[in-house]
Structure 1
Amino acid sequence: MKNSIDLAGDLDEFLILLRGLVREPSVIGSEDAFFRVLRRELDELPIEVTRYHGLLVARGKAPKGQILSAHVDRHGLICTGPNEFQYAAFIIANRSEMTGDSVSEQTMELIADRFHGQRVQAHTPYAGSYLGQGTINRSFICPKRRNLIFEVSGLDFLQPGTPVSFLDRLTVSSGFVRAQLDNVLSVAMLVYLFRCGFQGTALFTAGEEAGRSWQHALAWFQRHDIATDRMIVLDTSPYSSEQDALAQHVVLRTRDATSTFASNVTQELESRCKTLGIEYTYKDKYVEMLNRSREKPLSFGRTELGRLIGATEGRITGTTLQVPTTGYHTANETASLESIQATLQLLKTYIR
């Protein structure tokens, strides 16, 4: 049973920020409009903000210190033909990388029937201008196209290539927040951290759900000839039951399916958790435990960080910090306020 985190700290400012960002569409492959919203939030602070292709970088007065990262893209649909809609991530993704061992691919079968009745909204790809709303009547997996296919009423006028986001609103009740939290929760945390005085560097990357965000981050590191062994990537971590999600405040990792993470940074996070009374578990060890009794093993996941470590042979390395959630990859993903508070407390220890 995890320890109780003191919620006396004021979460109101953070939740106001999160609520506003949740309303902004950021369908993978069409993140430009969200980048502009994000930049407006950051430009209000005394930090340097620079936009690159697929990436926005915020740097404080000590940019060579701690490097943090979050992803801006979220799941949604893309119009691919006359009144035809497909899951955007698997249209944007390089299909040669879809080998069946990613969490998204393994999750697709579980979530295929969760979208009935979901309200969606269409918007222009670059500007994000509102085009209209519709309702998902049916969703199913097409084995030939290896993708989720959606039947949507009310948007039959859309042209191919138009992004369609889930109509998303944050709800807060009974100690939980609910929305399409992955990946906007991590984005809000980094913006909030800068508001609190963080002076390091934060990378906001596009295309993570299609396995492309690491390339945008790598280009930035190479452009500036920067190496680091202290990168921390924020994310959510899916659990199949509320009981399993509530077993810890934060989720750490020693590895993913592609690489081993920097043990010194992981151990540092663990030490800080112990000091703060934050309960933690290791997701890779949890998956190992589950796989002992499974005929088809669960994936360790292929993360942005793991790809960066592999591509640079460890010149860029670090670890991940994740918030446990349920309802992964839906507009009703759920996280506890205790986990959010604990993560923010942990991140604030990196303010100098």
Structure 2
Amino acid sequence: MKPTRRSLTHFLHLLRALVREPSVVGMEDAFFRVLRRELEEFPVTVTRYQGLLVAQGDDPESNYLSAHVDRHGLVCTGPREFQYAAFIAGNRGELNGDSISEQFMTIIAGRFRGQRVQAHAPYAGTYLGQGTINESYICPRRKNLIFDIDGLDFLQPGTPISFVDRLKENDGQISAQLDNVISVAMLIEMIRLGFRGTAFFSAGEECGRSYRYVAEWFQRFDLKTRRLIVLDTSPFPTTNDLSVQNVVLRNRDSVADFDPSITNELKLACDQTKISYRFKDEYVVEMNKSREKQSSIGRTELGRLIEASGGEITGTTLQLPTSSYHTQTETANLSSVHAVLCLLRVITGVA
């Protein structure tokens, strides 16, 4: 699939703007206000809840789509002390070794040297200053990434620090810290195109909390569904791996089995539109056959949600293949972006 540059112009303009906005995990309030301003341009009802922004069209129970708003960043935890925000002490209960983020922590520890970062007021998002990462390392006692930063000595504990990020486009690929902002942009693009269902924008996914906010919304209104589609990125080792498939599907994660009917519906839509796909859980199982160190198939928001609701809220995931996961050079093919949007339009009936 080769998208025309014109077909993605509006999407890329939106994504470029959103990438510049900070949304450090656990401190997403300022980004929620940015999203509200974007969404109120369209004929949808926008409601804010704790950890959640919900946009509903005129047929809200027809389809449910979900994206996460948080991105990785740092938080000041003491004098000249900065830690990886997703793994600070408040989230220790989520760290049991089988998440993709934890497994990638050791890999990405040395990638941040020389990276520019900027600090913001926790709720208002007001710019406070900029610095440069000298070094990052894993503290064996705290089991977290610790950062040495020049230029931000004045910060108080609790201040979020985001990576200075800009969207780059080159030779049919885009790169930035795409996870999770690209999923947010795709959901807004679907609303612009006429999506009539319910769209969730949830906080705290990188620290394993977002599913609680979505679960509580369904429970608040005594609703159930088997048609929740969660958008996300899916990491692969190299950019060469990105061309093997346009999109990534899943039968399950390490927590729960996904709904087979909506998963198969997506698979059939791929076949009909000639979009190539790969099942990530099957891929990981196959790769583990030749690996000495086994990889997890990962925990997802959806798996946690299915487990927490006893299967009353279920669905499947639709993931964008990327490389250089959780860095400012995370890369995706524009053809894959186009494919995800195409599938979403087919599955939700957006003309």
Q: TM-score range by the shorter chain?
A: over 0.9
Letter in 1 for 2:131: G
Return 210-219 or 291-300, whichever deviates more: 291-300
Task: Provide the residue aligned with 1:24 in structure 2.
Answer: 21
- Specify the SS of the correspondent of 2:130: strand
Q: Is the 8 A contact 2:250 2:258 kept in 1?
A: yes
2:110 paired with 1:152: no
Letter in 1 for 2:160: P
Which digits, 9 at most, give the CA deviation of each residue in 1:212-249, with x for residues without a partner?
A: 00001111010011100010000000011112222100
Equivalent residue number for residue 168 of structure 2: 171
Q: Please state whether the residue corresponding to 1:11 is helix, strand or coil.
A: helix
CA distance in 2, matches of 1:79, 1:347: 39
Q: 1:324 maps to what in 2?
A: 321
Cα distance in 1 for partners of 2:322, 2:188 equals 21
2:282 to 271, 282, 285: 285
Once the two structures are TM-superposed, the CA of residue 331 in structure 1 deviates from its matched residue by 1.1
Contact 2:3/2:334 (8 A) holds in 1 = no
The aligned runs of 1:1-352 (5 Å cut-off) are 4-7=1-4, 10-91=7-88, 94-349=91-346, 350-352=348-350
Specify the code of the residue in structure 2 equivalent to 1:23. Answer: R
Offset of 1:8 from its aligned partner? 5.8
| 1:197 and 1:351 in contact (8 A); partners too | no
How far, CA to CA, are the matches of 2:5 and 2:113 in structure 1? 38
What SS class does the counterpart of residue 94 from structure 1 fall into? helix
Kindly report the root-mean-square deviation, in angstroms, between the aligned alpha carbons of the 2 structures. Answer: 1.0
- Give aligned pairs, total: 349
Determine the C-alpha separation between the residues in 2 that align with 1:231 and 1:93.
Answer: 29
User: Which residue identity does 1:195 align to in structure 2?
Assistant: R
Contact 2:94 2:207 (8 Å CA) reproduced? no
Q: Deviations over 1:112-132 (max 9, x none)?
A: 000011000000000000000
SS, match of residue 186 in structure 1:
helix
Residue identity in the other structure for 1:235: D
Q: CA deviation at 1:344?
A: 0.9
- Counterpart amino acid of residue 105 in structure 2: M
Deviation for aligned residue 1:165: 0.1
Q: What is the rounded CA distance, in whole Å, between the counterparts of 1:270 and 1:9 in structure 2?
A: 27
Distance, in Å, in 2 between the alignment partners of 1:60 and 1:212 is 26
**Cα displacement (A) at 1:348:** 1.5
1:214 alignment partner AA: Y
Q: Which amino acid aligns with 1:351?
A: G
Separation in 1, partners of 2:88, 2:124: 21
Query: In the aligned structure 2, how far is the partner of 1:8 from the partner of 1:275?
Result: 23
The answer to which of 288-297 and 187-196 deviates more is 288-297
Q: SS of the counterpart of 2:230?
A: strand
Superposition deviation, residue 296 in structure 1: 2.0
Please identify runs of 4+ aligned residues in structure 1 that moved more than 3 A: none
Structure 1: gaps (5+ residues): none
Paired residue type of 1:280: Y
Q: What is the deviation of 1:295?
A: 2.2
Instruction: After superposition, give the CA deviation of every residue in 1:289-348 in whole Å (9 maximum; x if it has no partner).
Output: 111112221011111100111111110000000000001011111001110011111111
Distance 2:301 2:90 in 1: 14
TM-score (norm 1): 0.97
SS in 1 for 2:107: helix
- Native 8 Å contact 2:98 2:298 kept in 1: yes
**Aligned partner letter, 2:137:** F
Deviation of 1:19 (Å):
0.4
The CA distance in 1 between the partners of 2:15 and 2:241, in whole Å, is: 24
Preserved CA contact (<8 Å) 2:67 2:202: yes
What is the identity percentage for the equivalent residue pairs of Structure 1 and Structure 2? 62
Q: 1:33 to 1:201 in 2, by over 3 A?
A: same
1:7 deviates by 2.9
Task: Determine if contact 1:77/1:165 at 8 Å carries over to the other structure.
Answer: yes
Shift of 1:189: 0.3
> Distance in 1 between the 2:186 and 2:266 partners?
17
